[in-house]
Structure 1
Amino acid sequence: MNDARHATRDEMPQVAGHRLLRVIGHGGMSTVYLAEQVSLGRKVALKVMLPEALADEVSRSRFEHEARTIARLQHPHIVGIHEVGRTEDGLPFYSMPHLPRGHLAQRDLRGDQPRVAAILRDLLDALDYAHVRGVVHRDVKAENVLFDENERPLLADFGIALRRGGNPRLTSAGLAVGSTAYMPPEQARGLEVDRRADLYSLGVLGWEMLTGRLPYCASDALTMALKHVQDPIPRLPGVLRHWQPLFDAALAKRPEDRPASAQDMREALDQVERRAGRGFGRVEVPASTDASSSARASRLRPRLALAAAATIGIAFVGAWWWMARVTAPPARNAGIDAVPGLPAPATDAAGGVLAMPEATASPGQSVSAEGAAYVANANQQIADGRLLSPANANAWDSWDAAWRINATHADVQLLTARLFDALAEAATAALGRADAGGARAFFERARQLDARRGGDGSAIALLRKRLEAALAAQLDRLLGKRDRAAAEALLASSAWITDDPARRRAWQARVAALPAKPTTPVMPAVAVPASAPAPVEIVTVTRTEYARFAEATGRAAAECGRAGLFGGKRSWRTAGGRRGDAGPVACVTAADAQAYANWLDAQGMGRHRLPSAGELRAQPLQPIAGWTTLCADADCARRMASGKLRALDAAQGYPDVGIRLVRAR
C-alpha cells in the first residue's frame, strides 16, 4: 500500500479547485502540500489529514467543525484558513497561505534579546486574541511559527486546538496530543488543559530562542515528557539572568503558578527589558555543557508528536498510572505521610516513629522509578521553598515517600541531606524574623529527619548553635531598639532552643537590664475622641503561617466559591495571589480567624485578638499585593476590605478577605 507521506504526483490526493504540486511537509496527523488554487491562481499550503488520524466519521466531522471555528480567527500573527473541505477520497483538509520563508526552528536567534522579545510579544498577542475567543492552541512550538515575506512571525497549525468546553483530546485512548519537547506537565499527564498550557509552551520556545537549546533534553519522547513533569526549572547563564523570573513563572509545574493570561506574561516580558536596562541587546551565550544531548534533542524534536509515535503511545498507556502518582498527594496517617500501596509506619502516642516498615514492590511495580519520581518532586519543592506546606504537596511529604521506598538509595540519601540543610536554613530565617513558632516547626522536623537517618546528634547540636546565634542577633536588634516587651516575648517563646541554663540566664539578665520605656509625662487632660484609640500592633497572617495552624489542628478549609473559568473550587490553599505562601492567607471565615488567634495563644506566642474598626482607622495599613483583609469589629460580623466596610457573611470565605490580628504588647 502506498503511503501518502511519500506520494508521487500521480498518488497525490485530488482536491476540487486545487492543483497539488508537491509535498512540503509531514506531521503526525497530516501531510502538507504546495498547491495552486486554480480560481485565483495563487499558491496555498494544503493540509490533508492522514487516514489513521481521523478514522471515523464522528472524528472527521469534529475536525471540520473545529477548523471552521479556527478559520474565524483573524489576527496579523495567526496564519488564517482559506477553505475547509474533503478530498475526493473523503479525507478532511484545509488550505492556508503559503509562507515560503520557513519557520522559527530554522533561525539562530541565540543571544539576540531584542529580536526574541519582539517575536514573543507578537506570539503573545496572537495567543491572547485566540484565548479570549475560547481557543487554546495546545501545540505551540518552533515549527509552528512561520514567517511571511516581511519576516513577521505568524502562529500556525491550530489543527489540534481546543475550543473551551470541548474534549481536550483527539485520541480515544486518553493519550496526550502535542509535541513533548514543548508540552506542559498537565498535558503530558493527559489532563485537561487551558490557556496556561500555551504559555508554558511559549516559555519553552522563548528559552530555546535565547539559548539555542531546549530547557529539557532527552533521547526519547517519553523521557522528555517526564522531564517536563519532574525536573526542576533550569538556570540561565549569567548574561541572561534577568530573564529567569519570566521563565520561572512560565515554566512552573502547576498551571496556577504561571501567568494567568497572555497579557500578564507580556507584562512580565516588559519587566525583563526594564531589569536589563542597557544590557538588553545581543549577547554571547555560552555553549551547552551537554552538546550531545542538545544535538539529540534537536534531531528528535520534529518527531515528538505523540499522535504519530506508536512507541510513545504504548509507553504513555503504561506510564499514566504512576505519572499521576508523581504529583498525587500521599494519604496522611498519624502525622506521618503514607505512600499508597505501602504499610504505614508505626508511631508512638506523640506521633514519633517507632519503626519503619520495609517497602515491598507489588508485581510489575518499579520501586526505583517511583522513588525517583518522589525525589524529583522533593528537589523541586525544596527549590520552591515548599518545605512543610501546602499539605501533601511539599518536600517533606515527597522525601518521606521516597525514604520509605528505598532509604539506602544514593539519591534518597543525598535528598535527605539537602532537606535537612533546607529545614535548618528555614528555621534560622524564621528566627531572624522573630518567628519563634515557625522556627520551632522547622527545627522539630529537622530533628525528626536526623533521627530517621540514624544521626548521632551532632548535626542537631550544630543547628542549635546556629539558632542560638540567630536568637542572640535578634535580641541584640530588639534591645538596640529598646523594645523590651518584644525581647521578653521572643525569649519566652524560644526556650526550646537551648538546654544551657547559664546562657538563658545571661539573655534574661540582658533583657531585664533594659529599662522599660519611660511613661509619658503628665500633660494637661485632653479629651480623646472615642473613635481614635491608641495605636496597636496589627499583624497580617500569611498562608504559610495559617498552613501550620491548619496542619496542626486538622481544620477544614472554608467554602470560598469557584476559582474562575479555568479552575476548580477556591480555598485558602489556592487563593493568595502571586506572592504564594508568603502572601496573605485568604478564603477564611470569622471562625477561622478566631480559632487561629486562640491557637497562637495556646502555643505561647503572646495574646492575639481580632481588631476593631476604630483600631484599623487609627493605624492605616497599606495593601499587600492588593490584599487588605480585615475584620471591622471584634466579632467580625462586618469586615473591612480596601479601607471600606463591607457587609459580608462571617461564615463564608472570600478571596479578598483574610486575617489580621492585634498582637498584645
Structure 2
Amino acid sequence: MTANPGIPFEIPGYRIIRPLGQGGMATVYLANQETLDREVAVKVLGADRAPSEDLIKRFENEARTIAKLDHPHIVSIYEVGRASSGHLYYTLPYLPNGDLSTRNDSQDQRRVLAILRCLAEALGYAHQHGIVHRDVKPENVLFDKLDRPQLADFGIALARHSDVRVTREGATLGSTGYMSPEQARGLSLDGRSDLYSLGVMAYELLTGDLPFHGPDALSVALAHVEQPVPRLPPMRRQWQGFMDRALAKDPAQRFQDAADLLSGLDAVEAELDQRRDKPPLQAWRARLAELPASLWVGVTAVAGTLLLLTMLLWPKGDESPETRFVTATPLAATAEAAVPAGETAATDAGATTASAARLALAAGQLSEQKLVTPAGDNAAESYLAVLALEPNNSAAREGLNQVLAALGRQVDAALVGSDDATFASQYEQARMLADRGQLRDSAAWKDFLAQRRSLFEQRLQADVAAAASAQLATLKRPAEVLAQDQADLLGKWQDAERQLVQAEQRRKAREFEPALVLVPAEIGANRFDHAFELGRTEVTRAEYARFVRATNRPAARCREPLRPLSRLKSLQWRDPDFPQDEDEPVVCVSWQDAYAYARWLSQQTGARYRLPSEAEWQHAAASLDRSGICEQGNVADASMGSRWTLASRHKCSDGRAHTSPVGRYRASSLGLYDLVGNASEWTLNCSANTAWDRLLQSDACKERVFRGTSWRDGPDDNAASRRGSSEIDLGYTTVGFRLLREVDSTASTASTAH
C-alpha cells in the first residue's frame, strides 16, 4: 500500500486518498482498492483517538448488521479488518452523490414518493431480518452513482435475539428530530419506530421543515411525545392521511410494517394521478379550493379598496377617457372593476389605448425574461389582461406564443443541464399558461410539444449510442413530466434503459465468455438427444484467477494421484508443486470449485453454463482421432525425465513434463482442444450410479466423476474411456475442467441440421 503522510495508519491493499467525513465514532476515508483499481470508502473506528469499549461494540455491531443485509437500497460491506495501527475498519462502496439532507425535492412529489418507497423497502427487508435501524434520518440516506438512495449507518441498529448490549437500559441513542415517541422515552423498539422516523423524513421532504421544534434536544423529544401531528400546507393535503398514520403517537395506530406503509404511498400516488388527469377547469378549481380562506379574505379586501379608489378618483367633465389606462394594473379583473356602476364599458378607442399600454408593458417584461414571475409583473399576466379586454387581440396572442416559446427554451436548458426541478417547474408553468390562454389547440402549443420531444429523443439516442447509463438515468424524471402530454416518451425512455442493460449484459458476456464449439447431436455414426456448446479449451489459470478475485473463493485441498506424501504438502491451484503459466489449465480445483465457477460465469453473462455430464463429454470425445495421441495432447512421455510414475510413457517428447498451454496440440474434428492429456475434466455425474449405492451412502453425490486423460497418463490409458472420481471438496494436480453452455431447442435443431 502507498502511504499517505497525513494518515496515521496503513491498510494493506488500499491507498488512502483523503478523509470524507467524521461521525461520532468513526472517520470515513476515500481510498483506492489497489487489486481491483476501484474507489471505496473505508470506515475506521476512532482513527484520531483510542475508542472506548462501547464504541468498539457499536462498530462491530454495525459491521455484523450490514453483512447480514443484502438489499439494493442498503449500503453493502466489502471487507472487515484492522489497520496497521490496530484500528478496526471496514470497507464499503464509495457513494459520491451526497446524502438526502443536501437535497431539496419539496416541489417534486413524484421524486419524494420514489425515495420513500426505496427506503421503506430497505427498512422492510431489515425488519424481516430482525434489525431495527433506530437512526433513520436524511444524513443516513446516501446516493450512489446512479442517484439511487442507499440506507446507511447501522451503528446503533438493534437486532432481535442479539447478545450485544451497545447501550444501557433506557438510553435514547438516535437523532431527536426524527425519533419516535417510544424511542424518546427510552422504551423497547420495533420496526414501527423506524417507520415513524421515515414519516418525519416524509414531512420534511414535502415541506422543507421538521414537524416538531424546540429550543433544545429534550424539548424536541417531548414534542414528539406530546404535540399533535401538524397539518400540511393546502398544496400537500393529499398526504395528510398518510402523515397522520405515519406519525401516530401510539405504534398500534401507525403503519404496522413496511408493506402497510407502501400501500399508504400507493394511495397518495393514486390521488396525485387522479388530480393530474382532471380536465383543466376542474384542475384549476381544485387548485383554487386549496387556497386558505384568509387569502380569499385578503383578495376581496384589496379588490374592494381598488374599486372604492376608482370611484373616488374617476375623472370628471371633459377629461379624456383614455387617461384612465395610463397606469394599467396587471389584473384584468381590476380593469373591469374600474368601470363605475351604472356606466357602460370603456369605448373601443379606450380599450385599444389600454391594450396598447398593456402590450408595451408586456413587451418590456418579455425582453427582461419576466415570463411568468414575479406575480403581478410578468409578460404572461399582461398578455392575458389584454385578452380579457380584447379576446381577439392578435398581438396579445402572439405575445403568449412568445412567452410559451421562451418557457420552452428554459425547459430545454434545464434538460441539457439535468436540472430536474427547474425542468418540471417550467414545464408545468407552460402547461398552466396553455390552459389559461386557451392554447391547447394552437399551433404554438403543438410546436412547443414537438420541440421538447425532439430534444428529448436526441438526448435518448445520444445516451444510448454512448452507453451512458448515468446520463440516461437523469432523463427518467423529464420523461415522466413529458408523458403528461406525450405518453409514449416514458415508454421510449424505458426502451432505451432496457437497451443499455442488454448492451451491458452483452459487453460482460464478451468480456467473460469463453471460446465455444458447437457440438451437434450427430457426430459421424454417434447420435445424441441434443446439441450443446462446449469450451474450446479447458479453463485456464488466468480465467480462474479472475473468478477468485471477484468472489474471494478459498483454495481447495489438493493431492497428487498415487503420491501419499503429497498430503503433507500445501498443494493448491496457485501452487500445484510444479510451475505453470497463466495460459495453462487450472488444476487442483475441486468439483465444488468448478461448479461455483460455472454459476458465477452464468451470472456475469446471462447465459446458462454448467459442467458437462459424462454422456455429453463422451459424445464430444467421439470427435477425437484414434491415432497420433502425442500430436493431440500433452501426455506422459520422455519429457517427464526421471520423475517416478507407475504409468508407462508414450515414445515421444514434447518438452512438457507437466501441463502445457491450452490449445497447443491438434484439435479434434470439431475444433476441441486437449480432450487428450493436459488435465482430466470434472463432469456433473455422481460416482454412485446404482440404487444400491445410493441406499448405502448418506450422500449419494459425495464423490463426482472426472473423465479423460491427463499429463500423467501414458499409452495404457484411453482418453475416451478413462474415468475416475473424487470427493467433491478435493482437487488433484491432474484434474481441471471445461464448461458447457446450454442451447435452446431452436439452436439444438439448427445444430442437428448442421
- Scaled to the shorter chain, the TM-score interval is 0.3 to 0.5
Q: TM-score, normalised by structure 2?
A: 0.35
Q: TM-score, normalised by structure 1?
A: 0.39
Larger Rg over CA atoms: 2
